Chain A
Amino acid sequence: MRAPCRSTGPPDHGNLTMLAWTIYISFLGVPLLLLLPKGSVRAARMLALLTTATGFAVTLCGFAQQRSGELVTVARVPWVPSLGVEYHLAADGISMTLLLLTGIVAISGVLFSWNIEHRVKEFFAFYLALIGGVYGVFLSFDLLLLFVFYEIAIIPKYFLIAIWGSTRREYAAMKLALYSFVGSAMVLIGLIAAYVVAGARTMDLAQLAQFPFPVHFQMWAFPLVFVGFGILAGLWPFHTWAPTGHVAAPTAASMLLAGVVMKLGAYGCLRVAMTLFPLGLDPWGFHVLGFGSWRDVFALLALIGIVYGAMVALVQKDFKFVIGYSSVSHMGFVLLGLMTLQQIGLDGAVLQMFSHGILAGLLFAVVGRMVYDRTHTRDLSELETMHLSKAIPFAAATFVIGGMASIGLPGFSGFVAELQVLIGAWRPFPLFAVFAGAGIVIGVAYTWRAMQKAFFGASDQSAETASPPLPAISVPERIGAFILIGASVVIGLYPQLLLRIIVPALRSPMFNGLWKGGGW
């Protein structure tokens, strides 16, 4: 089934059946890992790398096939016929972009957890289960199936953090699991209600999106489902799981959490909440505290997330918390982009999901793996005395590049994405666009501060001799860093590579309700 990677003629949109294998391969890796003999650490790593690499290769293959960005069915068979539930996998440009992101982050995550020595097989088993769930969410076009994969992703996160984590790991893991589960409970209520209102015949996303749900129903179902998914996307004020979770998680898990899992939430907001209930974005017809619609409310929450996340990041003492809060800030751009309901804003939001996924992964890799695993401290004031730019120059260089990309330097992916979001936000929310721009400036400040403190500490020469030399940066780390930087640069220099499939996907009839409903 993986063989046909060749083009099959001009009119079709490519044969993408092999994409389903991203899910199967990841889940297949789980039992294989567990069946490995005791103590085979190296084999477990190689198997995990092989699995994620195969998944990525399959995704790339699909990416090459995906020409127009339109919706292509990957698999479709009845699952529970009596309820009208189908096993329906499909991919359009948005899914494709996020699958690509998942593949890249998954590979580099394995490379950056090469030094895990404790219960290795289980670590990679949970890791692959999480990846499989994520691939599943991005490919599902049946709502029940999407929800199934969405929840499958919760449990491995819990164990990854609780077993292999650091600071307050059990607390952080439980907090994350409960926040995610509360979010998905809200989503479940919305989905069941939508299913029943539409006649309890189908859970197919495209068919439900066509169904004219009554306005009063959409008015409560939209915020319910949007917030449910938004919790996982770091929507302020429900973001508090994110910094604690990122900080407590082992490196690979924080890369996945910030890089991919937060995108699950944003993807759900776009794909489910906004597609099913576009009328929920319409004006209420009255004003409360200056808000005229849910759109205003969520745009403001996104903006608060941007500015608040950045300001809190500015005063952190823990290096990893800086990155953790910066994730909240950057995800604010995604949510703001969604709420613009302008096509350029939505394009930017999707691109920002990709860009932030890569960059958050990179920054967490530097902080968690390159710095913390060597120095065993993340306290910025302690790091200041260690002269890390001399001890581990590679880490410093990587962080500088990642930081520059993250604050939106032209030439990197972050710039293209955030610029589009700001342009999109300008028309409906000019004031918000200004404040979001200010958020970027604060972003420069906290990145600069963290970089300066962590790597280019005070220049007194006293501590130079005190500490023993740190282990050198290993080969897997270098490869992982190059992959992530490379992805960001390629998209930064040639965003059309992704935009060519994102833009047509967002212009597809499935999203018509958005443009008619509120935006234009």
Chain B
Amino acid sequence: MTNFSYLDLLHLVLPEVIVVITALCVLSVDLMFLRTSESRFRGPVGAILSLAGCAAAVGWILHTPQSANVLDGMLALNPLAQRVQVALLILTMLTVLIFIGSTFTQHVSEYLALILLATVSMMFLVTTQNLLLIFLSLELLSLSLYILTAFNKRSVRSAEAALKYFVFGGISAAFLLFGFSLLYGCSNSTNLVHIASSIQGPFLDPLLIVAAVMTMVGLGFKVAAVPFHFWAPDVYQGAPATSAALIASGSKVAGFFIFYQVMVIGLAGAEGSSVWHGYTSGWVPVVAIAATLSMVLGNLVAILQTSVRRLLAYSAIAHAGYMLLGILSHTDQSFRALLYYAITYALTVLGAFGVVDLVEEATGGDRLSDFAGLSRQAPVPSFCMMVFMLSLAGIPPLAGFFGKFYLFSAVLNSTPRSLGLLWLIVLAVAMSAVSLYYYLKVLKCIYVSDPPTDTAPIHISVLRQVVLFLIALSVVLLGCAPNLLLRWL
């Protein structure tokens, strides 16, 4: 372990290095050559550079797949993690594509660089099994996201949202660090695998319980599970649409990945059980409670929302509830199902924020009434929004449906004999039936309501329409042919 050259390390983390260098390039090109040019020119240049960098990283990962576990789990590369990295990079690229043409800021290059740094931290997050690096990546991710949230300096809401996010995030980071320190104290190691092997025993150490709960608080905040969800609605509403899209998509995927890793690898042996009439203490019942609360609260509160961004925030909370089911059943199959769900969900919500952004630029708001009659003014984005909303509601043949089916059957299949987790599945399916109501409400505004009479026709750039349409197409495609992604996970 000690004889490990930096050159080898550099080779292993080359994709991350590429993205970091891209971030620096974006910054310096803008600073040195483009300071004086117009902002509508600077945006695309920075975006193209970022896209090229991400594409290069994707190319490298696909070209030279690597497996390694070095430096006490600091870097645990395996095919699955690398594929998740690719998914994260693609999500970032789509976010950047949606960002092109946004006018809320003059500091385009700084914004893009922050997105790329957030991406780097997500990439590290999914390739590590070491508490220290997990914490560092989470902090890097959070700090980038705080700034991205506050980036719209002209909007008070943006600042308010960032402050809330920061305060809550800071507290949860403290919890997480406290939990990690206790885990280290219990096991004398920061490697998840070693932690698991040292906590095996017939009874759970009380200290370990505290550690597990603290850790779950920190991670639960990251994925916006109830009761750690309070930041989500405000951030989703106040942040610039692109930042909100990144928070809702890439950061969610990475968050769930590491949540699963910490719980299932790090706390193996302390699972407990949450089957009906068969509770035993451990972390699974705690996750089950969080999942239940998230599904119920997220879906019910979303019904009341009149702002589409807040609606998406509560729906994100509800979806976090569904995804937590994939963690608590902790089988290999449920992990794949969770990843499929998280990736397709990220794609869908990214597109939804793209449409919200369009509508905000045209009408100045994200209230349901601002969407009235959109289908008559902008048919393509309306169609895309229909695909996204129906996919979130779980209507086939869209990706959201197959994700739900796969996830629920995987969860139920973790106890095939007794169907012990059936109660959670019943709740989840019932709640997704509730969710159709508010998703249809959005579509009703778009398709059924008449447009206000005095509006000018909306002008939408072709690039944006193409990007949104491609995202919608991939949501349909992944639903019709889920094997495209399943084979890969």
Verify if A364 is at the interface (C-beta below 8 Å from B). Answer: no
Verify if B259 is at the interface (C-beta below 8 Å from A). Answer: no
Contact B395 A80 (CB under 8 A): no
Verify if A57 is at the interface (C-beta below 8 Å from B). Answer: no
Which of chain A's residues has its CB closest to B487's CB?
A82
Bound CA span A154–B433, Å: 12
Chain B count of residues within 8 A CB distance of the other chain: 32
Verify if B102 is at the interface (C-beta below 8 Å from A). Answer: no
B196–chain A nearest beta-carbon distance, Å: 28
Bound CA span A81–B483, Å: 8
User: Chain A interface mostly helix, strand, loop or mixed?
Assistant: helix
Complex interface: stretch among A66-74, A196-204, A233-241, A416-424: A196-204
Known: A80-B482, A163-B447. A196 touches B413 (CB 8 A): yes
Q: Which residues of chain A in 150-166 are interfacial with respect to chain B, using CB atoms and an 8 Å cutoff?
A: 151-152, 154-155, 158-159, 162-163
Contact A147 B396 (CB under 8 A): yes
Verify if B10 is at the interface (C-beta below 8 Å from A). Answer: no
Contact A155 B390 (CB under 8 A): yes
Q: Which residues of chain A in 138-188 are interfacial with respect to chain B, using CB atoms and an 8 Å cutoff?
A: 144, 147-149, 151-152, 154-155, 158-159, 162-163, 170, 174, 177-178, 181-182, 185, 188
Which of chain B's residues has its CB closest to A182's CB?
B433
Contact A170 B448 (CB under 8 A): yes
Q: Mark B470-489, 1 if CB is under 8 A from A, else 0.
A: 00000000000011001100
Q: Which residues of B contact A434 (CB under 8 A)?
A: none
Bound CA span A81–B482, Å: 10
Q: Which residues of B contact A158 (CB under 8 A)?
A: 440
Contact A154 B395 (CB under 8 A): yes
Verify if B430 is at the interface (C-beta below 8 Å from A). Answer: yes
Q: Which residues of B contact A490 (CB under 8 A)?
A: none
Complex interface: stretch among B32-40, B43-51, B419-427: B419-427
| Further 17 A-B residue pairs, CB within 8 A, beyond A178-B437, A185-B429 | A80-B483, A83-B409, A148-B401, A152-B397, A155-B390, A162-B444, A162-B447, A178-B436, A185-B433, A188-B429, A193-B412, A193-B422, A196-B409, A196-B412, A196-B413, A196-B419, A197-B419
Bound CA span A57–B114, Å: 60
Residue of B422, B433, B444 most packed against chain A (CB within 10 A) = B433
Contact B416 A151 (CB under 8 A): no
Identify B395's interface contact among A151, A189, A192, CB under 8 A. A151
25 contacts between A and B (CB under 8 A): A81-B483, A82-B483, A82-B486, A82-B487, A144-B405, A148-B396, A151-B395, A151-B401, A152-B395, A155-B395, A159-B443, A162-B447, A170-B444, A170-B448, A174-B440, A185-B430, A185-B432, A188-B408, A188-B429, A189-B425, A192-B408, A192-B412, A193-B419, A193-B422, A196-B412
Identify B448's interface contact among A81, A147, A154, A162, CB under 8 A. A162
Verify if B406 is at the interface (C-beta below 8 Å from A). Answer: yes
Verify if A294 is at the interface (C-beta below 8 Å from B). Answer: no
Which of chain A's residues has its CB closest to B426's CB?
A189
Known: A148-B401, A155-B390, A178-B436. A200 touches B416 (CB 8 A): yes
Bound CA span A200–B415, Å: 12
Verify if A195 is at the interface (C-beta below 8 Å from B). Answer: yes
Bound CA span A155–B447, Å: 12
Q: Which residues of chain B in 437-461 are interfacial with respect to chain A, using CB atoms and an 8 Å cutoff?
A: 437, 440, 443-444, 447-448
B432–chain A nearest beta-carbon distance, Å: 7
Q: Which residues of A contact B425 (CB under 8 A)?
A: 189, 192-193
Contact B397 A181 (CB under 8 A): no
Bound CA span A377–B386, Å: 34
Q: Which residues of A contact B433 (CB under 8 A)?
A: 178, 181-182, 185
Q: Which residues of B contact A154 (CB under 8 A)?
A: 395
Q: What is the interface residue range for chain A against chain B?
A: 20 to 34
Which of chain A's residues has its CB closest to B417's CB?
A197
Known: A151-B401, A152-B397. A159 touches B447 (CB 8 A): yes
B322–chain A nearest beta-carbon distance, Å: 13
Q: Which residues of A contact B419 (CB under 8 A)?
A: 193, 196-197
Q: Which residues of B contact A162 (CB under 8 A)?
A: 444, 447-448
Contact A192 B405 (CB under 8 A): yes
Q: Which residues of A contact B447 (CB under 8 A)?
A: 159, 162-163
Bound CA span A171–B422, Å: 33
Known: A80-B483, A155-B390, A159-B448. A199 touches B437 (CB 8 A): no
Q: Which residues of A contact B413 (CB under 8 A)?
A: 196, 200
Bound CA span A162–B448, Å: 6
B297–chain A nearest beta-carbon distance, Å: 19
Bound CA span A372–B397, Å: 36
Contact B416 A83 (CB under 8 A): no
Contact A189 B483 (CB under 8 A): no
Which of chain A's residues has its CB closest to B409's CB?
A192
When A and B form their complex, which 7 residue pairs have the shortest distance between CB atoms, in order from nearest?
A148-B396, A185-B433, A162-B448, A196-B412, A185-B429, A181-B436, A196-B413
Q: Which residues of A contact B408 (CB under 8 A)?
A: 188, 192
Q: Which residues of A contact B422 (CB under 8 A)?
A: 189, 193
Identify B437's interface contact among A81, A147, A174, A200, CB under 8 A. A174
Q: Which residues of A contact B483 (CB under 8 A)?
A: 79-82
A160–chain B nearest beta-carbon distance, Å: 11
Q: Which residues of B contact A197 (CB under 8 A)?
A: 416, 419
Which of chain B's residues has its CB closest to A183's CB?
B433
Q: Mark B273-302, 1 if CB is under 8 A from A, else 0.
A: 000000000000000000000000000000
Contact B436 A177 (CB under 8 A): yes
Q: Mark B378-399, 1 if CB is under 8 A from A, else 0.
A: 0000000000001000011100
Which of chain A's residues has its CB closest to B483's CB?
A80
A156–chain B nearest beta-carbon distance, Å: 11
Q: Which residues of A contact B412 (CB under 8 A)?
A: 192-193, 196
Q: Which residues of B contact A170 (CB under 8 A)?
A: 444, 448
Q: Which residues of chain A in 79-116 are interfacial with respect to chain B, using CB atoms and an 8 Å cutoff?
A: 79-83
Q: Which residues of A contact B416 (CB under 8 A)?
A: 196-197, 199-200
Q: Which residues of B contact A188 (CB under 8 A)?
A: 405, 408, 429
Q: Which residues of chain A in 5-51 are interfacial with respect to chain B, using CB atoms and an 8 Å cutoff?
A: none
B219–chain A nearest beta-carbon distance, Å: 28
Bound CA span A197–B401, Å: 21
Q: Which residues of B contact A151 (CB under 8 A)?
A: 395-396, 401
Identify B409's interface contact among A148, A152, A174, A195, CB under 8 A. A195
Bound CA span A203–B420, Å: 21
Bound CA span A130–B92, Å: 36
Bound CA span A200–B334, Å: 13
Q: Which residues of A contact B405 (CB under 8 A)?
A: 144, 188, 192
A188–chain B nearest beta-carbon distance, Å: 6
Q: Which residues of B contact A174 (CB under 8 A)?
A: 437, 440, 444
Q: Which residues of B contact A163 (CB under 8 A)?
A: 447-448
Bound CA span A291–B409, Å: 34
Contact B482 A148 (CB under 8 A): no
Bound CA span A117–B350, Å: 36
Q: Which residues of B contact A147 (CB under 8 A)?
A: 396
Bound CA span A253–B35, Å: 60
Q: Which residues of A contact B432 (CB under 8 A)?
A: 185
Bound CA span A58–B444, Å: 35
Bound CA span A80–B399, Å: 13
Which of chain B's residues has its CB closest to A198's CB?
B416
Contact B397 A80 (CB under 8 A): no
Q: Which residues of B contact A200 (CB under 8 A)?
A: 409, 413, 416
Residue of B406, B432, B440, B447 most packed against chain A (CB within 10 A) = B440
Q: Which residues of B contact A148 (CB under 8 A)?
A: 396-397, 401
A66–chain B nearest beta-carbon distance, Å: 27
Q: Which residues of B contact A199 (CB under 8 A)?
A: 416
Which of chain B's residues has its CB closest to A200's CB?
B413
Bound CA span A342–B422, Å: 34
Identify A80's interface contact among B429, B430, B444, B486, CB under 8 A. B486
Q: Which residues of A contact B396 (CB under 8 A)?
A: 147-149, 151-152
Bound CA span A265–B487, Å: 34
B396–chain A nearest beta-carbon distance, Å: 4
Known: A81-B483, A147-B396, A196-B416. A189 touches B429 (CB 8 A): yes
